[in-house]
Chains A and B, each alone.
Chain A
């Protein structure tokens, strides 16, 4: 390692150790926005359910930490470059309409249907879809409830009918014992079943696939354990109220709240942070198509085009920020060599040091 690389590594290490003031400020603003949203959406806390206050604290901590980590992540030189370029490409004059339509398609096929996972493995895709939609469904139910945006009131005297209110505006009345009522009251159980099914498939693969076992990291299991714990403790609550006359409910309620809050806190720090990183893939697609339409980089050895000049130029700008210097000492840059020629150059240099090949 060159001394300059070592110095840069040290510099970036000390930068990592400091608290980032800007990210902290924006994280706090995000927390403030959620709090204002809670206050306004719950009719000045009239519909806010105090029993769910613990969950709200968990959400606020998770929001702060997620925003903080995201902003710090965006500061890494290659991430900052890609973020800038992705938006530039998206907003480029003459391409905005096409890009906006493309964005909708990308969100559908890429972020929601996750076709890129299916092309890798159908089983994996099915498991991921189960966990994904299970979590989305659970979030769609619990977040509005926690924020006091949605609440239920019984209609009539016998408690058989309920009406759901969104931001204090009433919707249709439903019979608690009907299929609709059963489904509404069991949405979280449905979500839990989806998540547990997905977790089971993931776990089966993790425990059986020798390749997966070899490259496993502890976080892979932690994420699955967390998803399972949140789902199963949530279903315990239903089991208690439906079949045990509410026995242990208070304990189970605390247990569930604890797993959910720990789960929320795990999101910004653990494997699940990829939820927020993945959308950058769409930016990459805009970046790549902008690069493909622009000039191409020709290899300095074989002369063939091998990448967009845009991306090679970006790499040449980013690499020195990371402590690398691939300059050739004569004004050129090794990065302008195509990968195939790089491999050939290594082989030629090596065989010269052993008296030729063969």
Chain B
């Protein structure tokens, strides 16, 4: 059984944070902008890497998806990860984090980062200083391809293709999130991360000739 929450549960300052990984061009503007975030100045927390450098130009960007029931917070032995009233999952509380890396290893999206020198974890907090005031997170403010996007659901519907999806499946575990990804049809269910990707890839038949030739 999956619980589909109302769209309002996914908003911060009436806006929704959207990551469309397929649009990422790997320019690393987000990586630089992330360092400018007021809550972790000088440290970039976004992830961006090549999926498989030898065979593809595809890149994988990853921000915190702000799970409704955050695995990271649940596995934290020190209660150092807190979820705000609006559902944003904060970075570790500095006095509490004991640097065990449980969250780093348990997060299904691979988001938290462990830093050895201060001996603590830090993670994306949706630039809470900005998003809580209605401003775009740093990464979304610079992303040239709108792979990272922050705006109202109406703006999204008016300017973008695809539908917003807030649920992911990792094996048996369904993880509802605050941050959306984009799929052609949200009705097809949670994004099945371990499932057979299947579907039609335009690269397989870029000119639509499969049925013609």
Contacts and interface: CB of A to CB of B under 8 A. Distances in A.
A311 interface: yes
B47 A211 contact: no
B173 A324 contact: yes
A211 B193 contact: no
B207 interface: no
Given A214-B39, A351-B22, A343 B172 contact: no
Given A278-B95, A352-B199, A346 B21 contact: yes
Interface stretch (A60-68, A143-151, A190-198, A327-335): A327-335
A350 B21 contact: yes
Contacts of B176: 1
Contacts of A356: 22, 200-204
Contacts of B168: 346
B172 A307 contact: no
Interface stretch (B27-35, B107-115, B150-158): B107-115
A109 to B, nearest CB: 11
A192 to B, nearest CB: 22
A40 interface: no
Nearest to A354: B22
A358 B203 contact: yes
B203 A315 contact: no
B62 A329 contact: no
A339 B98 contact: no
B45 interface: no
A138 interface: no
Contacts of B193: 334, 342, 345-346, 349
A215 B197 contact: no
Interface residues of B, number: 88
B196 to A, nearest CB: 9
A281 interface: yes
A272 to B, nearest CB: 9
A82 B68 CA distance: 25
Contacts of B6: none
Nearest to B196: A352
Contact of A347 (B51, B100, B104, B194): B51
Q: Which of A83, A117, A353 has the most CB of B within 10 A?
A: A353
B118 A119 contact: yes
Nearest to A83: B77
Contacts of B79: 73, 76, 277
A344 interface: yes
Q: Assign chain A's interface to a size class.
A: 35 or more
B149 interface: no
B21 A1 contact: no
Contacts of A339: 104-105, 107, 110-111
Given A2-B174, A210-B38, A345-B194, A278 B77 contact: no
A88 interface: no
Contact of B183 (A83, A311, A343, A350): A350
Contacts of B200: 355-356
A3 interface: yes
Nearest to B132: A214
A325 B172 contact: yes
Contacts of A117: 118
Interface string B157-189: 000001001001011111010000111110010
A346 B191 contact: yes
Interface of B: 1-3, 20-24, 37-41, 47, 49, 51-52, 57-62, 68-69, 71, 74-79, 82, 90-91, 94-96, 98-102, 104-111, 117-120, 125, 128-130, 132, 162, 165, 168, 170-174, 176, 181-185, 188, 191-195, 197-204
Given A325-B173, A339-B104, 4 more contacts: A78-B76, A215-B129, A346-B21, A356-B200
12 contacts: A6-B3, A79-B77, A116-B120, A274-B95, A284-B99, A311-B105, A324-B173, A328-B172, A344-B60, A346-B60, A347-B59, A357-B58
CB-based closest 10 A-B pairs: A339-B110, A214-B129, A352-B197, A356-B201, A211-B38, A347-B60, A342-B110, A211-B39, A353-B183, A351-B22
